[in-house]
Amino acid sequence: MCGRFVRTSDTQTILHEFDAWGGDMDIAPSYNIAPSQTVAAIVKDDKRHLLLCRWGFVPPWAKNITAGNQPINARAETIAINRAFSTAFKHHRCLIPANGFYEWRRGHSGKKTPVFIRLRLAALFAFAGLYSSVTVGDGSAIDTCAIITTTANAMIAAIHDRMPVIIHKENYSLWLGQDLAALPSLLKPYHENEMTAFDVSMMVNSPKNNSSECIEPI
């Protein structure tokens, strides 16, 4: 799964990297993004633009924002047929900018140690995501999202059996485009040789801790 991630790049860097419009948005860096918090997503209508979403997917047909389960992840193997995600998979895919993510490794004693995982050569990358817009009681809309996961590559498999889908930069347009037949080929584990991981402080366990210390190796 992917239950915590990092986005440290500033707004202008994100907009430039994804060739997107952001209006007057200014997104604060976060070293410990947790479920229910606001995340940045890149979506495409007539052009790419930045959208702020609550992390925890609510399907558009839900009666209210607190109804039912609000999954933070969607499994790549079933999103095309899962009732909650199938419409978003067809029409509302997004890119979720990130600089890394956390997973927890269980040691021989049973104690879990947080691990920070990032790409070796790219500081900023994108998770494959889905988003939806939900109308609440006062008639306003709230956007929510989920990160798509797939089976772990060889490196991450030693930590967890799932990992987020990372979209290669050259495939951003394909992921946000209309060629549905091409999408399954993008939902694969990112190659382990292009990633690195190291143990970090237990302070990551609390989302209240949100500073650069969270990603310092120990």
User: Comparing 19-28, 47-56, 69-78, 102-111, which segment has the lowest mean pLDDT?
Assistant: 102-111
Q: Measured on CA atoms in the order 45, 49, 52, 54, is the torsion positive or negative?
A: positive
C-alpha torsion sign, points 95, 211, 119, 104: negative
The CA distance from 71 to 74, in Å, is: 7
With contact defined as beta carbons under 8 Å apart, do 152 and 165 qualify? no
Give the mean pLDDT of 64-89: 90
Q: pLDDT tens digits for 171-183?
A: 999 999 999 999 9
2 is catalytic: yes
pLDDT, tens digit (0-9, with 9 covering 90-100), for 82-106: 999 999 999 999 999 999 999 999 8
DSSP state of 98: E
Catalytic status, residue 194: no
> Cα-atom radius of gyration of the chain, to the nearest Å?
17
Residue 108: pLDDT band (50, 70, 90) is: confident
Query: Catalytic: which of 2, 53, 145, 214?
Result: 2
Q: Which CATH number fits domain 5-215: 3.40.50.1000, 3.90.1680.10, 3.90.1150.10, 3.40.50.300?
A: 3.90.1680.10
Sorting pLDDT into bands at 50, 70 and 90, what band is 146?
very high
Q: Specify whether the CB–CB gap between 204 and 114 falls below 8 A.
A: yes
Q: Hey, where are the domains in the chain? A: 5-215
User: Which is the catalytic residue, given 53, 94, 103, 214?
Assistant: 103
